[in-house]
Structure 1
């Protein structure tokens, strides 16, 4: 008993005992976190990286504690080692730290949310999930035209919210402006063509125009932005081959392709009823015949 009492009063023994308790606590914590990650993360790759990250951090803490117990004798040395350890952790895990910070930024600032259509890091699509590290996007474009899904699921690190612009098609103002070009011949009735296009656009897009007007008013009150024309407008451009009528209109960001299809269909049918007063133009080639050759032979 006297020997045990002497050992418990020995500063070195107490120091070693505390170190062993800390190491045991860290090992048990690593095991608990690994089991929790295994249950909650379904993606094998992410689960593997997360578990490895927990192990690395735990082992670095154990090494740090051993260094402090063996080599540190003063508070000044503690401060130096803590500073070096923190700098090493920050440099090694900077991408992970930025991703976690980005997730907080996304949720609290409301940069985007699931269901929004965004373009980030030159990737466009609909946000289908946001976790603590990645934003998952259903990709659009690439080898398909217009606003169609490509079928690929893209995971983007949340750190990208700090590295470049984020284009949000649906936040605050869920409408976009689009354009449609109709080409007519020079002998067509331009005023009639303009009337046909505006009438078709007004008839098809009246609901979008009314809904967007209320949303735009909220934008004007919230942001430093001037008022804009929400009704369909037409601009005329003369070219070497035809007259180009450019129709600018507003539509729902998810129905841009369908809206353009309906406009083309209605305008084409209306032009066909104009009895030839409006003619659609196209690129034409005129082939000229080779002039005849008159050859005279002299002796």
Structure 2
């Protein structure tokens, strides 16, 4: 027993035991405060941010505790050991270290936040959680058409914020441009078609246009970017089969599919009311009649 006591009283062991004691206290405090905030805060967004703040403060205290335990005392006998240990640990856990650094970068630089729609590492979806290592995304696309959830939850390492581009659909400008093509026959009244398509788009998208113009003005002031056309526009393209009217418009990034459906539905109703002045085109085949042959057979 005396040898055990002597071993526990050595400076190095005392430091390690003291550090483990405070480490347990900090981890317990993080868990207790997270549960307390979960019960006390009703707003989901505020509760989430408060819990993540507690985690970051706790991790910072743990790092500070390790530095205080091994730095601000006499470490001349342990310099080589600590150096080799740190180098080996850094090499082994480089992905983990990058992920933790990425989490700090995400929170402080505001690359994205929960609720944003992003595309990172080739995966698109809505961010539903960000922890110290992973970003959790509700995936969109893949086998599902348009911007619909596939049902899969994807966890992406936070280290990817340093490795490639991050496409954010909602950070500063929560609107996207989209296009639809309306095909009409050459016999149709093109000017009438342009007019009714533009009027339909302006009626359907008036709220988006007003809100997006205000947001775009903020973008122009904040970034080095030229002004853009927010109102719906039409471009004409002539093909071998029909006249193609390309409608370009702006919509909320979460309502891209719904907006396209509403526009197509309203446009086809407006076309029907023209009484044949505007006709929607489709691929057609023209069959030529085979000429009659008069065959006389001489015996």
- Confirm or deny a common fold (TM above 0.5): yes
CA contact (8 A) 2:118 2:127 kept: yes
- The answer to whether structure 1 residue 217 and structure 2 residue 210 are counterparts is no
Report the counterpart of residue 146 of structure 1 in structure 2. 146
Counterparts of residues 189-208 of structure 1 (less than 5 Å): 189-208=189-208
Report the counterpart of residue 18 of structure 1 in structure 2. 11
Per-residue displacement from partner, 1:230-279 (whole Å, max 9, x unpaired)?
00000001111111000000011101111110100110000011111111
Q: Aligned to 2:10, what secondary structure does the other structure show?
A: helix
CA contact (8 A) 2:125 2:140 kept: yes
Per-residue displacement from partner, 1:61-102 (whole Å, max 9, x unpaired)?
9xxx9xxxxxxxx95x85444333222111100111011110
CA contact (8 A) 2:138 2:154 kept: yes
1:27/1:112 CA distance change after superposition, 3 Å: closer
Following the alignment from structure 1 to structure 2, what is the Cα–Cα distance between the partners of residues 265 and 204?
11
Following the alignment from structure 2 to structure 1, what is the Cα–Cα distance between the partners of residues 81 and 16?
18
Report the counterpart of residue 269 of structure 2 in structure 1. 269
- The answer to whether structure 1 residue 133 and structure 2 residue 126 are counterparts is no
- The answer to whether structure 1 residue 82 and structure 2 residue 82 are counterparts is yes
Report the counterpart of residue 178 of structure 1 in structure 2. 178
- Comparing 277-286 with 260-269, greater Cα deviation is found at 277-286
Following the alignment from structure 1 to structure 2, what is the Cα–Cα distance between the partners of residues 263 and 14?
79
Following the alignment from structure 1 to structure 2, what is the Cα–Cα distance between the partners of residues 15 and 34?
24
Q: TM-score, normalising length from structure 2?
A: 0.76
RMSD over equivalenced CA pairs, Å: 3.1
Unaligned runs of 5+ in 2: 36-65
Report the counterpart of residue 251 of structure 1 in structure 2. 251
1:187, CA displacement in angstroms? 1.2
1:26/1:297 CA distance change after superposition, 3 Å: farther
CA contact (8 A) 2:7 2:13 kept: no
Q: TM-score, normalising length from structure 1?
A: 0.76
Report the counterpart of residue 237 of structure 2 in structure 1. 237
Report the counterpart of residue 107 of structure 1 in structure 2. 107
Following the alignment from structure 2 to structure 1, what is the Cα–Cα distance between the partners of residues 78 and 137?
45
1:103, CA displacement in angstroms? 0.5
CA contact (8 A) 2:180 2:246 kept: yes
Following the alignment from structure 2 to structure 1, what is the Cα–Cα distance between the partners of residues 156 and 258?
29
Q: Aligned to 1:138, what secondary structure does the other structure show?
A: strand
1:17, CA displacement in angstroms? 3.0
1:20/1:206 CA distance change after superposition, 3 Å: closer
Q: Aligned to 1:115, what secondary structure does the other structure show?
A: coil
CA contact (8 A) 2:238 2:244 kept: yes
1:86/1:259 CA distance change after superposition, 3 Å: same
Q: Aligned to 1:156, what secondary structure does the other structure show?
A: strand
Following the alignment from structure 1 to structure 2, what is the Cα–Cα distance between the partners of residues 78 and 33?
26
1:87/1:218 CA distance change after superposition, 3 Å: same
1:290, CA displacement in angstroms? 5.0
1:26, CA displacement in angstroms? 6.5
Number of paired residues?
258
Following the alignment from structure 1 to structure 2, what is the Cα–Cα distance between the partners of residues 176 and 19?
60
Report the counterpart of residue 98 of structure 1 in structure 2. 98
Per-residue displacement from partner, 1:85-142 (whole Å, max 9, x unpaired)?
2221111001110111101000100001111111111111111111111111111111
